[in-house]
Amino acid sequence: MKRVAGWIVAGVLFVSPCVAQDAREPAVRTEAQRAFILGQMRLFLQSIQAITVALGKNDLKTVEDEAAARGRKGTPVSAIPPSMKAKETPAWTAMMGGARAGFDDIARVAHEGAPPSELIGMLGETMRNCVACHQSYRLATE
């Protein structure tokens, strides 16, 4: 019996971290804001895919265009749902700003004709913002 109990305790200790609650901070947004944010996220992924393929072909024009589209001026202000800014924590703003600024840098350096090895390194550094934010936040609706 004691032995069985021991196994049960061991099992619970082993399994509990796997089913632990999502520790990420909820970023509470309206349904429209959530849809907008996730749409922007899919564009990030889409452009990273296009940039990676273009780097493999040394097609710097595509790298520049795709990176610029994800940069600070890539999204028209009119497309952004109202009152989004007010909900953003400083950490959120910093990571989103870091990602956008990174894409702007990639666009500029691609325009200058940098080697793909340098550009892929910059993309990796830019993506630290993606990883950090995904580890910190999950979306929740109001």
Binding mask 56-95 for ligand HEC (x = CB under 6 A): ------------------------------------x--x
Contacts of 108-113 with CB under 8 Å at 24 or more apart are 110/60, 110/61, 110/63, 110/64, 110/67, 111/60, 111/64, 113/60
Exactly one of 27, 60, 63, 67 binds ligand HEC (CB under 6 A); that residue is 27
Residue placing its CB nearer to ligand HEC in the complex, 10 or 45: 45
Cα dist from 135 to 22, 23, 80, 121, whole Å: 10, 9, 24, 21
Tell me whether residue 11 or residue 97 sits nearer to ligand HEC (CB atom): 97
Distance CA 87, CA 55 (A): 36
Q: For ligand HEC, which stretch binds (CB under 6 A), given 2-10, 76-84, 107-115, 134-142?
A: 134-142
Nearer to ligand HEC, 15 or 38 (CB): 38
Q: How many residues bind ligand HEC (CB under 6 A)?
A: 19
